[in-house]
Chains A and B, each alone.
Chain A
Amino acid sequence: MAKVLMKGNEALAEGAIRAGCKLFFGYPITPQSEIPEYLSRRLPEVGGCYLQAESEVAASNMLYGAAGVGERVFTSSSSPGISLMAEGLSYIAGAQLPVVVLNMVRGGPGLGGILPAQSDYLQATKGLGHGDFRLLVLAPSTVQEAADLIVDAFDLADKYRNPVMILGDGMLGQMMEPVEFKDRPKSKDLPPKTWAATGLVPGKKKSIINSLYLDPLELEANSWELKAKYDAMARDELRWEQFNCEGEYDVLIVAYGSMARICKTTIELLKKRGVSVGLFRPITVFPYPYKQLSDAAQKAKMVFCVEMSTGQMLDDVKIALEGSRPIHFYGRTGGIVPSPEEVLRQVERIRNGEEVDKVWER
């Protein structure tokens, strides 16, 4: 199929349809409203259902129900809306159901703003809701990657019976790039959904969708079952990209999503000045490629973490490096997106032994 020019939001919505998703429940919010808009038109065309809920809380419980009967289901929101869905997603994780949820992050906390940010990283990767659960979180950096990853997200959700999140930001949602939808064969090795509550079949065990376990031993067993899934994800699902890491480099930049592609331009600009800097970009941010980052960092004198937050992925960078390299951090937030030149000036400073310039304090 030929490449078409699409907004990130539209490409993700189309990608969900290509993944065989027929059901969307959600509520509009900037900067991702093109997704419900697109799906409200497209889903009826493929025999699916678009339903605008009365709130994000309701939408997340509609997801719970639809996932419980074994359908591929999808919701999309932005930061404040995701917080509202947190309760439902905890139930979904507890009941071990596959859903795909997308967060086009905007500045926070509270209602915050509508411009791009990466300030929901900790929420997405460490603690979206109550209880011992995690989402598998994928962080695309281009529109093409977003369109590809959302198809994988549905497969991964089914494979692990666990919610999978696409973590983007307003910039990825609003920008247009060429995108090609590849015809992929349906994944054959996914387990049949024997657990789905699709009605009583004689001879079949009763299917109960539930996250309530009053017996502490049963609840503990469920939690360890979840933990085993997360361990399997950390073993089998890690994804990352290394850019300009073939040769020597003094500094290794660590960034994800939109911020990472901006840093690529910084690296190209530095190349022209004869300075070689590498980039490590985690694509799965839960599970996190700790060892791969640590290995890449051993070639560098120092590591430079750049985010559109006050320092959230920074925690994972520290865990990965275990104190083996000095770590510098630069973050802009509130909707401000650092330019490649802005990052470049900071790289020059830390290479000269200076601290980063805290321009936000001026």
Chain B
Amino acid sequence: MTTELIVAGFGGQGVLLFGKFLALSGLKEGKEVVWIPSYGPEMRGGTCNCTVVVSEDPIGSPIIDSPNTVVVMNKPSLAKFGPRVSPDGLLLINSSLIDTTSDRTDIRIETVPANDIALELGNGKAANMVALGAYVALTKVVKFDTILDVVKENFAKKKEFLDLNIRAVKKGYELAS
């Protein structure tokens, strides 16, 4: 079983951290993982994405034309990466910032109002963690407890954000379960 993910949004939405937490969770569960960012020249507020592969087997290419899962956090990312989801794959749309959807019928399309939920929890910046929780619920690529541990470990030194991020990832997971 191999899960490929492209998570995309604009700079500052935390899509690289989303991908890193997924990769760390896969590693924690003893799986093979690879994480690669788009690192081209970008302006502030420009687009940003990363690719993550989580697999039981050794991973060859980190470059994926048609990933079996895609998470889009803003509208330009939907236009760019929606068409690239592999048939029968999953497209998760942040419906807080994207008022359209994909017209594809050969894939599973899910939505999560990530920014709205994060705002309700106290800080819109936790939208990436809401989406991550939802993504884990939908794909079951790693266990929820694993991703929770990774969030706790990585925010251990930033205690003021720890509680918010735990609640965000939990809420996203509950909504999509």
- Interface residues, chain A, CB within 8 Å of chain B? 3, 5, 30-31, 114-115, 170-171, 174-178, 261-268, 335, 337-342
Bound complex: CA A268 to CA B65 (Å)? 15
- Nearest residue (CB) in A for B33 is A178
User: Judging by beta carbons under 8 Å apart, are B35 and A114 in contact?
Assistant: no
Tell me which residues across on chain A come within 8 A of B35, comparing CB atoms.
5, 175-177
A342: B residues at CB distance < 8 A = 65
> Which single member of B20, B39, B59, B63 contacts A170 (CB below 8 Å)?
B39
Residues of B within 8 A of A265 (CB): 60-61
Chain B min CB distance to A244 (Å): 11
Question: How many Cβ-Cβ contacts under 8 Å join chain A to chain B?
Answer: 68
Which A residues are CB-close (under 8 A) to B24? 5
Contact present for A174 and B36 (CB under 8 Å): yes
The verdict on A114 contacting B41 (CB below 8 Å), with A5-B27, A171-B36 known, is yes
CA–CA, A153 and B37, complex, Å? 28
Q: Which of B20, B32, B62 has the most C-beta atoms of chain A within 10 angstroms of its own C-beta?
A: B62
Total interface residues on B, CB under 8 Å, equals 21
> Are A115 and B40 neighbours in the complex by a CB distance under 8 Å?
yes
Contact residue among A5, A114, A171, A267 (Cβ-Cβ distance under 8 Å from B23): A5
**In the complex, what residue of chain B is closest to A2 when comparing beta carbons?**
B27
Which residues of B are interface residues toward A (Cβ below 8 A)? 20, 23-24, 27, 32-37, 39-41, 59-66
Q: Could you tell me the distance between the alpha carbons of A338 and B65 in the complex, rounded to whole angstroms?
A: 10
CB distance from A308 to the nearest CB of B (A): 11
Contact A340–B61 (Cβ < 8 Å): yes
A175 partner, pick from B27, B36, B40, B66, beta carbons under 8 A = B36
7 smallest CB-CB distances across A and B, nearest first, come from: A265-B60, A264-B60, A265-B61, A176-B35, A175-B36, A262-B61, A339-B65
Query: Which chain A residue lies CB-closest to B57?
Result: A268
A37 to chain B, nearest CB (A): 14
By the criterion CB–CB under 8 Å, are B63 and A174 in contact?
Answer: no
Q: Which residues of A contact B59 (CB under 8 A)?
A: 177, 261
B68 to chain A, nearest CB (A): 14
On whether A174 and B39 interact (CB within 8 A), knowing A265-B60, A265-B61, A339-B65, the answer reads yes
A-B residue pairs in contact (CB < 8 Å), sample of 30: A3-B27, A5-B24, A5-B35, A31-B39, A114-B39, A114-B40, A170-B39, A171-B36, A174-B36, A175-B34, A175-B35, A176-B20, A176-B36, A177-B33, A177-B35, A177-B59, A178-B27, A178-B33, A261-B59, A261-B60, A261-B61, A261-B62, A262-B61, A262-B63, A264-B60, A266-B61, A335-B40, A339-B65, A340-B63, A341-B66
- Which A residues are CB-close (under 8 A) to B65? 339-342
**Nearest chain B CB to A273's CB is how many angstroms away?**
16
Q: Residue among A30, A175, A176 with the most chain B CB within 10 A?
A: A176
Complex contact A339–B64 (CB within 8 A): yes
Chain B residues closer than 8 Å to A340, beta-carbon distance: 60-61, 63, 65
Contacts of A31 in B (CB 8 A): 39
Does B63 contact A339, Cβ atoms closer than 8 Å? yes
State the Cβ distance, B132 to closest chain A Cβ, in Å.
16
Least CB distance, A132 to chain B, in whole angstroms:
38
Report yes or no: A264 in contact with B27, Cβ–Cβ below 8 A. Answer: no
Residues of B near A261 (CB, < 8 A) are 59-62
Chain B residues in 8 Å Cβ range of A115: 39-40
- Chain A residues closer than 8 Å to B64, beta-carbon distance: 339
Is the Cβ of B60 less than 8 Å from the Cβ of A268?
A: yes
Smallest Cβ-Cβ distance to A264: which chain B residue: B60
